[in-house]
Structures are given as structure tokens and as C-alpha cells.
Amino acid sequence: MDIFILFSSLLVLMLIGVPVTFSMGMAAAFYLTVSGQLDMLVMLPLQMVVGLEHYGLMAIPLFFLAGAIMTSGGLTARLLNFSRVLIGRVPGSLSMVNVTGSMFFAGVSGSCVADTSAVGSVLIPAMKKEGYSPAYAAAVTGASSTVGHIIPPSIAMIVIGVMAEVPIGSLFLAGAIPGLLLGVGLMGLSLWLSVARNYPRAPRRSTLQEIGEATVSGLTALAMPVIVVGGILFGVVTVTETGVLACLYALLVSMSYRELTLKSTWEFFVSTSQGAGNLLILLAPASFFSWVVLNTGMGDQLVDLIGAISTDPQTVMLLVIVFLLIIGCGLDTLGMVFIFVPVLFPAVEAIGIDPLHFAPVFVLCLGIALLTPPVGIILFMVTNMSGAPLT
């Protein structure tokens, strides 16, 4: 079967240590060679260029930059302070601050890893100091960071929109409510565990002045995701134009905080270039890989394979979730996006699952993959921050 040859060669290349960037292009080229379709190889350079021509891709470095500006400009401390006064003196208040802080920061950064780094570096030491176990502090931080892939602006949603040819604005809106519900569910679980384990409350109530100051600074920062979602929802701007507005707003707010320096400015431009560059360099060979899948009938083969197992959309969704969670144990999230989006999205749509329904589920599986060993980068980050044992 063609799809078996393609993915077997891809798996072998990754197992021997070939980077995903090269593995996708080499696997596609190998398949075309052994299947006698050498004439299609001439499309390799063209498809790599075409894959980077999508207008929506301009939003990726823009949202990277907006998040980096807000972080360098003192956003993290203000958002977490707003979370503290919002939560108040409930049992296990810091664990709930951790969850709300992750939700707020997700609306700025669009990245699980950035969420973990910003929130975890502040709250994990604070939670340990107040008597929370290192393992619990790490678990709350890691679990709550998964909303970073769902709540807009989500970098993963932008890539999925480009590769699956689904409107990015619609994907943002499709992820907003599930992301909020996920955060509320995690807060409820944190409260239940905190009551059961007698975790401490906040040491004192915030004064009215503290509440007012924290609310003003917090809502100022949180206006950015409102700009993103509102602009798209009302059709005022495109996703890329929203990225420009987000950068402009982030710069104005950060300048008002007066915490930007020449050094931090240079650092956030460098980090933006690295983050966006690492992602876009993967997209070029992934575009050729996707083109091979779509133009050799592999999508139809996968639909037939899934149909032989079940034609019930709910059953198929459950099977795909289990498959993604297993694959996520051994494959990084970017690799999962670039390899499986061109294959799975057309297949599940043919079975009757709406891409706007499937995308948040797919993205949540990506977030969980960041927590599962042996390549769960967030798992390593939170255990390193907390000092909790990895095993």
C-alpha cells in the first residue's frame, strides 16, 4: 500500500536521527522513486516555495513578536497579579492562579511552551514556598499550559489553517470556547484537590486599591486577545492584519509599563526570528509531503482504511484521539502537525467530521503530547523548574 511505504520510510528516517524537516522531503522523494513516479519529483522545489506563499503565514511571526513584546514588557507579573486578586482567598488559591494565569497568557503568546516558561518560572517557586508539593506544582503548571494551543491566537491553529485550507479566523473562534471550558474544568479540579489535601489559602485579602490597580493593569494586557477575536469575529480585519494590530498594541502597552530596554528589545526580536524561522523551515518540505499525499490517492486509501474499521464519526474520533496520544509519546508536536494534518483532516471530513470540530481536538492532543515522555518538552521543563522527580 502506498501510504504504508511513505510513512514507513518517514518513520525509519526519524528513528535513525534525521531531522523532521529533511525526513518529510526525503520520504516523499523515496516514495515517488520506488513507485515509478519520478516525473513528480520535479515539483519538489516548486511545492516548497508554494507552501510558504500563503498570506496567512505572515501572522505567525507577528503573533510570535506580539507575545515576546508583552512578555519582555512586564506582562507576566501583571497578569499573575490580576489572577491573584481575581481568585481571592479560596483553598489552594495559587494553584487556581496558575490555571487562570495560563489561560490569560495563552491569549497573548499562542504557545504552550511560552506559557509554561512564563507562568511556571514565577508560580512554581511561589507554590513550593507556600507548602505545595513540587510534583503538584509541576502537574498544575504542565496541565494548564495545554490551553496555549487552543485559546486564540494559537500558532498551531494558524499552521493547521494553512495546511488544511480551513479559514484561520474560524479556527480561532472554534478554539476559544473549548479552551475556556478546559480552563474552568482544570480550576474545578484544582479546587477539589486543594480542599481534599488542605492546601493553603492566600495569606490575606487584597485591599480595594490593590484590586483596582491589578484589574486595570491586567485588563490592559488582556485587551490583546479581545482585539484578535473581536476583529476576526466582526470581519473588520484578516488574521494577518490582526497580528499587526496585536504587535502595535503590545508595543504601546509595554512602553507604557516602561520596562522595555534595548537589551530586551534585541532579545525579543531574536527569539521571534528563531521561533518563526524554526516553524517555517519545517513548512517548506511539509508542503511537498502534503502535495504527494493529496496527488497520489493516499487520502482515499486512508478513508477506505478508516471506513473498514468504522463509519461512525464518534468512533472514528475516539480512535484518532487514541492514535494521536500514542504517537505523541514519540513525536514532537510540530512533526505531528506537518505529518498528520494533510492526511487526517481530509479523511475525517470525508467521514462526516467537521474540520472546525476536529481542529480543537487535534490541537488538544498536541498539547497533551507535550506532557508525555519520552519527548514531552513541557514535562522536562516543569520537572526542572520544580525539582520534582521525572519518574
- The pLDDT score that the predictor gives to residue 204 is 63
The arithmetic mean of pLDDT across residues 39-67, rounded, is: 79
For the segment 165-212, what is each residue's pLDDT rounded down to a tens digit? 888 888 888 888 888 898 889 888 888 988 888 877 766 666 777 677
Alpha-carbon distance of 104 to 149, in angstroms, equals 13
pLDDT band of 216, cuts 50, 70, 90: confident
Nearest to 95 by CA among 188, 217, 178, 205: 188
Alpha-carbon distance of 127 to 96, in angstroms, equals 11
Q: Supply φ then ψ for residue 338, to 5 degrees.
A: -70, -30
Higher local confidence (pLDDT), 307 or 349: 349
For the segment 224-281, what is each residue's pLDDT rounded down to a tens digit? 777 777 777 777 778 788 888 888 888 888 887 777 778 878 887 887 888 777 777 8
Alpha-carbon distance of 376 to 112, in angstroms, equals 12
Which cell numbers in the block locate residue 150? 487552543
For the segment 4-38, what is each residue's pLDDT rounded down to a tens digit? 788 788 888 878 878 877 888 888 888 888 877 77
- The pLDDT score that the predictor gives to residue 362 is 92
Q: Mean of the per-residue pLDDT values for the chain? A: 80
pLDDT of 116 over the 70 cut: yes
pLDDT of 391 over the 70 cut: no
- The pLDDT score that the predictor gives to residue 361 is 92
pLDDT of 99 over the 80 cut: yes
- The pLDDT score that the predictor gives to residue 7 is 79
| CA distance to 37, 76, 273, per residue, from 283 (Å) | 23, 30, 15
For the segment 343-354, what is each residue's pLDDT rounded down to a tens digit? 888 888 888 889
The arithmetic mean of pLDDT across residues 64-84, rounded, is: 76
The model carries a pTM of 0.81
Q: 165-172: list long-range contacts, CB under 8 Å, 24+ apart.
A: 166/345, 166/355, 166/356, 166/359, 168/56, 168/59, 168/239, 169/232, 169/233, 169/238, 169/239, 170/356, 171/356, 171/359, 172/228, 172/229, 172/232, 172/239
pLDDT of 121 over the 70 cut: yes
Alpha-carbon distance of 159 to 59, in angstroms, equals 10
The arithmetic mean of pLDDT across residues 135-159, rounded, is: 84
Helix (H) or strand (E) holding 304: helix 298-309
Single-letter amino acid code for the residue at 219: L
pLDDT band of 358, cuts 50, 70, 90: very high
The arithmetic mean of pLDDT across residues 72-94, rounded, is: 74
DSSP state of 151: S
Contacts of 390 by beta carbon, 8 Å cutoff, 6+ apart:
373, 379, 380, 383
Alpha-carbon distance of 77 to 103, in angstroms, equals 14
